[in-house]
Amino acid sequence: MPTKTKEPKESEPTSTHRWLSYRPEIKVLDCTIRDGGLMNNHHFDDAIVKVVYDTCVAAGIDYMELGYKASRKGIKQGEHGCWKYCQEEDIRRIVGDNPSSLKLTVMADAERCDYHEDIPPKKDSVVDMIRVATYITQIPTALDMVKDAHDKGYETTLNLMAASIVPDRELDEGLEMMAKSEAKAIYVVDSFGALYSEQVHYLVRKYLDHCKASGKEVGVHMHNNMQLAYANTLEGIIEGANFVDATMAGLGRGAGNCPMELILAFLRNPKFNLRPVLDCVQNHIEPMRAKLLWGYDLPYLLTGMLNQHPRAAIRFKEAELKGAKGDILAFYDSATAEE
């Protein structure tokens, strides 16, 4: 006679239930159009931007970043698409008044944005958050930009770029300054895709130590040069980062970013809906890969391994796109000769 399986009591967690916990405080930010715009000079058709916007709304994603607020002084007409500048009329052409819970963001690079003039008061904008990207040497300007945006009514973050090359003492000094700012969160940014898990642990803990007194959150923005963007994002979450950047199919500069579909699958928060993201990836993002050529490849591996800016790898891939036959051994020799 077969043994009857014991049914678990309602109060008794099953193994499945134990794995379905989640942290509701984690906020997911989609930067597909902003970071992906670095692969096509921000020349996205409105239809693609609208698809990503609609996907973020349907998927329950918390924030969507539309592009940059770059200076428009001295620009060449047509060199960059409108998402390099994110003027209000362009944004509203896509989202209207944004009748959804999705918050909209734009990024402003320190020393590359006429923020006093080009960022209007929040009451006149559908944008909710200004993210200020800064190198360690630009922090004083970045702090002024954050204060300006905060005083205008926006949420703000500080995204400290190229964390992998900042000396520890300078990093502590910079974090001390940023922790006193009005920013809602401070981001660990792996600009070169060079970090390993131990380094992510160390940096997130350091950022949290500086942020806890002022109640700031820590965010993570990872690149995929060594196939570690997803893994390192998870390591950041495990250590306590509550702001998480990702993109549809990992679309982003060079090797790309942490894929949104992986993050939503991992987080298990029932407010997120993976299906719209899969639809967007399959039918709209992946068809662009052959032209934009983002994603892991050997040149990006090498610049990540060497903790170098990926510009040389991007040039290598652009030459291949034009028909040149790349020599990865010559690229390796050239890259290591710089060390």
Per-residue pLDDT at 19: 52
Strand partners of residue 188: 160, 220
CATH fold of the domain at 22-291? TIM Barrel (3.20.20)
Euclidean distance between CA atoms 256 and 233, whole angstroms: 13
- What H or E segment, with its residue span, contains residue 277? helix 274-280
φ, ψ at 22 (rounded to 5°): -155, 165
Question: Does residue 76 have a pLDDT over 90?
Answer: no
Q: In sequence order, what E strands does 154-292 have?
A: 155-160, 185-190, 217-222, 243-246
* CA separation for the pair 245, 264 (Å, rounded): 11
On the question of pLDDT at 6 being above 90, the answer is no
Lowest-confidence segment of 155-159, 190-194, 260-264, 321-325 by average pLDDT: 321-325
Segment 177-201 shows an average pLDDT of 98
Question: What are 197-215's pLDDT values in tens digits?
Answer: 999 999 999 999 999 999 9
Question: How many C-beta atoms lie closer than 10 Å to residue 8's C-beta?
Answer: 11
**pLDDT over threshold 50, residue 17:** no
Model confidence pLDDT, tens digit, residues 229-246: 999 999 999 999 999 999
CA angle (310 as vertex; 318, 133 as ends), nearest 5: 115
> Is the CB of residue 93 less than 8 Å from the CB of residue 134?
no
Q: Where are the domains of the chain?
A: 22-291, 297-337
Annotate 261-277 with b (16+ C-beta within 10 A) or e (fewer). Answer: bbbbeebeeeebebebb
Task: Give the other-Cβ count within 10 Å of 102's Cβ.
Answer: 20
The 10s digit of each residue's pLDDT in 155-182 is: 999 999 999 999 999 999 999 999 999 9
Cα–Cα nearest to 129, from 98, 108, 160: 108
Contacts for 251 with CB less than 8 Å, ≥ 6 apart: 32, 35, 36, 39, 257, 285, 288, 292, 294
Residue 29 bridge partners (DSSP): 63, 245
Euclidean distance between CA atoms 154 and 177, whole angstroms:
20
Task: Output the pLDDT for position 27.
Answer: 98
Query: Which residues does 134 contact at the CB level (< 8 Å), separation at least 6?
Result: 109, 110, 141, 142, 158, 159, 160, 161
Q: pLDDT > 90: what percent of the chain?
A: 88
pTM for the full model? 0.92
CB 133 within 8 A of CB 65: no
User: Which of 85 and 11 is assigned the larger pLDDT?
Assistant: 85
CA–CA dist 311, 235 (Å, integer): 27
Mean model confidence pLDDT for the chain: 93
pLDDT in tens, 104-159: 999 999 999 999 999 999 999 999 999 999 999 999 999 999 999 999 999 999 99
